[in-house]
């Protein structure tokens, strides 16, 4: 039985890894926008893989606000919750209250049920840069990166890449710095996020979801961070709508 347990895990894992070395869409970061994008990409029949450096995907949605595990979602994003079967309670002025643990679990389940593959405990240390475009990711174990170990990575080719890393905008910063290129942002660089403004932050999260360099898209707080827009706190409708928009843009790019 001991051999069966180990063999089953190893054989299945390496089959899963082998099947995702060349994909339609590679997503960096398993926050709400990345998970929603993964769901819609997979639903459209695209091969999509998502890399999350932590043990559990979900980003900041798990903790709600100050560990009060509820979040707010505005009316415009409720169709996404309805499609994913997420429960919510109407509150005031078109806003709803959602249990953050329930919602985050539902996003993870929906993405994987639709056919997306999630690899947790992975870090992305670089991109594949070919013909002046982002053409994939360079990945390694998150503990290897955290401990600063000199271990070479593996490469994953992708027709499109989505950065959903949140406030850090790490992929956009890396692409601009290492390749000396201008991004599709107001400054041509990562402008950095501004302070909190809920209404502006929610609206601009969706507006700033776009292709910022050939092959590289941004969603969620990374979209606001690269364009110098506002953070918004524990309201997540913009994140959900940003993920859906990112998926639509990437599907159009993949389909040519």
- CA-nearest of 147, 192, 135 to 166 is 192
Exposed e or buried b for every residue in 171-189, given b needs 16+ CB within 10 A? bbbbbbeeeeeebebeeeb
Give the bridge partners for 95, in sequence order: 74
- Binding residue ranges: 33, 52-53, 60, 124, 150-152, 167, 221, 231
- Binding residue ranges for Fe cation: 152, 167
- Binding residue ranges for glycine: 231
- Binding residue ranges for NAD(+): 33, 52-53, 60, 124, 150-152, 221
């Amino acid at each position: 039985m001991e051999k069966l347990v180990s063999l089953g895990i190893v054989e299945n894992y390496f089959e899963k890894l082998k099947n995702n070395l060349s994909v339609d869409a590679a997503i960096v970061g398993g926050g709400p926008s990345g998970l929603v994008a993964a769901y819609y990409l997979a639903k459209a029949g695209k091969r999509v893989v998502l890399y999350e450096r932590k043990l559990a995907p979900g980003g900041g949605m798990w903790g709600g606000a100050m560990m009060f595990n509820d979040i707010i979602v505005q009316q415009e994003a409720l169709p996404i919750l309805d499609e994913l079967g997420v429960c919510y309670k109407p509150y005031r002025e078109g806003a709803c209250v959602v249990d953050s643990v329930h919602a985050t679990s539902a996003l993870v389940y929906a993405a994987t049920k639709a056919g997306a593959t999630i690899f947790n405990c992975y870090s992305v240390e670089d991109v594949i840069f070919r013909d002046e475009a982002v053409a994939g990711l360079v990945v390694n174990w998150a503990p290897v990166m955290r401990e600063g170990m000199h271990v070479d990575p593996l490469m994953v080719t992708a027709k499109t890449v989505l950065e959903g890393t949140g406030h850090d905008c790490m992929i956009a910063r890396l692409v601009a710095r290492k390749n000396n290129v201008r991004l599709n942002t107001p400054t041509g660089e990562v402008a950095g996020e501004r302070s909190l403004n809920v209404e502006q932050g929610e609206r601009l999260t969706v507006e700033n979801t776009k292709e910022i360099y050939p092959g590289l898209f941004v969603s969620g707080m990374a979209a606001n961070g690269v364009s110098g827009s506002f953070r918004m706190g524990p309201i997540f409708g913009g994140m959900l709508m940003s993920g859906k928009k990112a998926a639509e843009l990437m599907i159009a790019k993949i389909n040519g």
